[in-house]
Amino acid sequence: MGTVNHSAKRDGFTSGFGVLAATLGSAVGLGNIWKFPSLTGANGGAGFLLVYFLATLLIGLPVMIAEISIGRQAKANPITALRQLAPKGRPWWLIGASGVLASFLIMAFYSEVVAWVFAYVAKAVGGSILSSDPAVTQRAFDTLISDPLQSLLWQWLVLVFIGSILLCGVSKGIEAVTKRLMPLLFLLLLLLCSVSLSLDKAGEGLAFLFSPDFSKLNASVVLTAMGLAFFKLSIGMGTMMTYGSYFRDDQNIPRTAFRVMTADLCVSLLAGIAIFPAVFTFGFAPSAGPSLVFITIPAVFAQIPMGHVLMVVFFVLTAVAATGAMLSLMEVPVLILHERFGLSRARATLTTLVMLAVIGSGCALSNSTLAEFRLFGLNLFDLSDYLSSNIFLPIGGIFIALFVGWSWGLERFRLAISNHGTLNNARLAGAIFFLLRYVSPALILLVMLRALQLV
Ligand code: TRP
């Protein structure tokens, strides 16, 4: 395998705000707007929220800090990073390799949902999906996803769009774009929340989101909440390692991770606050699943003053969120092809695009041409969604935690997150290390085994 010449300065994030914007840009995505509200709705509201919150804090945050530290310490892609930091001959780099597989698995379905979002931006502007009758909005959605040509074209459009940003590089591409998009995202979200909260039954929607119904909790719901925590923070497959390798040396890693986690949680809650009051006011079911965004939301907007404009705002907001996340997903194979296989950045991006177009078409066509093709009762789209969040990411998370806890060791971890002794956070490092060494791997394993009914 060839490696690139490291004497040239490696591209990376340039400012503290840039680091925060890019990392938050990765975390915030369809997970907040498409997954979080519908999963919370389907699993009984605040009880689910509580479990999700605990999983984020006890498992997500430590693993995120671990990934970023590994990346920054090695200043290399996940495979090279783990080879460099592990004792000679130990196969820890396999975490990086399986991460590449997981990234394609996630992008295969993710890019298709992003494709629907982009298509909906166009349709929202044209006004064609605005109807107060859910049967009509349902038909509009079905027409889109069951049309093979439309599905593929929108997906390719998304890939070309993301690819062209990646071509500009890390600081001039990813950082420059996310720095502008993240503030815009908060602005649009707050606008939608203020409209939603002024509706009649805002209280009922909020009560649904915030009053716990623990009767719905069982092992598989807990696994779903944990999978969501992984998916939300972009951890378990090397994305955060990749971004970590672009972190500045003076960046405070635990603080950045904590801020990203908090801001990401805020975006999810704000998305819930924007969506549920409106859903209740117009008498829709809160647990409408993933179709909440594409079927219920347009029907809700049709009944709100200025609904046409607000719907454009909503889908632009979703497209903005999805862009930062897609950038981070695609950057993983791009960096590996570039650094480990010696391709130029342009070729690496192009190769990833083509591979993704091929693999992704399986998901794009899973509601049309390939609808009959099922494994374990799921079509390709649902299968990649389930496998990535509930199997690949948690297993990746276990091994990342084990690597830091048992191979890298406390001393080196402490040095890495204290910026070689410049920061005074030794106690914090000890606590995070304890979580990584014992708590996170055991919890993840237990939840997985229970949910898959193996214990
Ligand atoms: N976190 C993003 C979201 O919520 C999705 C995402 C981006 C992701 N990069 C990832 C998920 C890496 C898992 C792993 O939409």
**Mean pLDDT taken over the chain:** 92
- Tokens in use for 223? 């696994």
- Give me ligand 1 centre to Cα 326, in Å: 8
State the Cα–Cα distance between residues 119 and 315, nearest whole angstrom: 9
pLDDT (0 to 100) of residue 379:
82
30 touches ligand 1 (CB under 6 Å): yes
361 touches ligand 1 (CB under 6 Å): no
- Give me ligand 1 centre to Cα 411, in Å: 30
- Give me ligand 1 centre to Cα 376, in Å: 24
Helices (H), 282-390: 291, 297-301, 307-339, 345-364, 380-387
State which H helix or E strand residue 259 sits in. helix 253-281
- Give me ligand 1 centre to Cα 230, in Å: 8
Output 375 or 268, whichever has higher pLDDT.
268
Q: What is the pLDDT of residues 284-329, one digit of tens each?
A: 877 666 678 898 888 888 888 888 999 999 999 999 999 999 999 9
Question: Average of pLDDT values for 47-66?
Answer: 96
State the Cα–Cα distance between residues 322 and 159, nearest whole angstrom: 12
Answer whether 335's CB lies under 8 Å from 33's CB.
no
Q: What is the pLDDT of residues 114-149, one digit of tens each?
A: 999 999 999 999 988 888 888 898 999 999 999 999
pLDDT (0 to 100) of residue 312:
94
Q: Which of 272, 307, 311, 276 is nearest to 202 (CA)?
A: 276
Q: What is the pLDDT of residues 21-55, one digit of tens each?
A: 999 999 999 999 989 988 888 888 888 999 999 99
Q: For each of the domains in the chain, give its residue range(s) and CATH number, in order of start.
A: 16-451 (1.10.4160)
- Give me ligand 1 centre to Cα 29, in Å: 7
SS3 378: strand
Q: Look up tokens 């060791």; give the residue.
A: 409
Give the number of C-alpha atoms closer than 13 A to the C-alpha of residue 373, restricted to the C-beta side: 12
- How much is the CA Rg of the chain, to the nearest whole Å? 21
State the Cα–Cα distance between residues 23 and 206, nearest whole angstrom: 29
* Ligand 1 atom closest to 239 (CA): 12
239 touches ligand 1 (CB under 6 Å): yes
State the Cα–Cα distance between residues 337 and 352, nearest whole angstrom: 8
Answer whether 245's CB lies under 8 Å from 77's CB.
yes
237 touches ligand 1 (CB under 6 Å): yes
Pocket test for ligand 1, best of 329, 385, 386, 388 (most atoms within 8 A of CB): 329
Pocket test for ligand 1, best of 23, 24, 26, 388 (most atoms within 8 A of CB): 26
pLDDT at 407 exceeding the cut of 90:
yes
Other residues' Cβ atoms within 10 Å of the Cβ of residue 184: 12
pLDDT at 7 exceeding the cut of 50:
no
63 touches ligand 1 (CB under 6 Å): no
- Give me ligand 1 centre to Cα 27, in Å: 6
pLDDT (0 to 100) of residue 288:
64
Answer whether 22's CB lies under 8 Å from 175's CB.
yes
Question: Average of pLDDT values for 82-106?
Answer: 96
Answer whether 336's CB lies under 8 Å from 121's CB.
no
pLDDT (0 to 100) of residue 303:
86
Other residues' Cβ atoms within 10 Å of the Cβ of residue 38: 20
Q: For atom 14 of ligand 1, which residue has the closest CA?
A: 234
State the Cα–Cα distance between residues 203 and 207, nearest whole angstrom: 6
State the Cα–Cα distance between residues 274 and 195, nearest whole angstrom: 8
Number of residues that this document lists for the chain: 455
**CB-based contacts of 286: which residues, under 8 Å, 6+ apart?**
41, 45, 205, 208, 276, 279, 280
pLDDT (0 to 100) of residue 287:
67
Q: Which of 118, 164, 138, 104 is nearest to 363 (CA)?
A: 104
DSSP state of 9: P
pLDDT (0 to 100) of residue 58:
95
Q: What is the pLDDT of residues 374-390, one digit of tens each?
A: 888 788 888 888 899 88
Question: Average of pLDDT values for 228-233?
Answer: 96
pLDDT at 101 exceeding the cut of 90:
yes
- Give me ligand 1 centre to Cα 182, in Å: 15
pLDDT at 20 exceeding the cut of 70:
yes
pLDDT at 417 exceeding the cut of 80:
yes
- Give me ligand 1 centre to Cα 366, in Å: 21
325 touches ligand 1 (CB under 6 Å): yes
Q: For atom 4 of ligand 1, which residue has the closest CA?
A: 31
66-70, 222-226, 321-325: least confidently modelled range: 222-226
pLDDT (0 to 100) of residue 396:
97
Q: What are phi and psi of 371, to 5 degrees?
A: -60, -30
- Give me ligand 1 centre to Cα 281, in Å: 31
- Give me ligand 1 centre to Cα 50, in Å: 21
**CB-based contacts of 26: which residues, under 8 Å, 6+ apart?**
234, 239, 240, 243, 324, 325, 327, 328
Where b means 16+ CB within 10 Å and e means fewer, 152-165 reads bebbbebbeebbeb
State which H helix or E strand residue 163 sits in. helix 148-167
238 touches ligand 1 (CB under 6 Å): no
State which H helix or E strand residue 195 sits in. helix 176-197
**CB-based contacts of 171: which residues, under 8 Å, 6+ apart?**
11, 12, 13, 14, 18
104 touches ligand 1 (CB under 6 Å): no
pLDDT at 2 exceeding the cut of 50:
no
Burial bucket for residue 169 (CB in 10 Å: 0-12, 13-18, 19+): middle
CA 145 to chain centre: 22
pLDDT (0 to 100) of residue 23:
98
Q: What is the pLDDT of residues 169-220, one digit of tens each?
A: 999 999 999 999 999 999 999 999 998 898 888 898 888 888 787 888 899 8
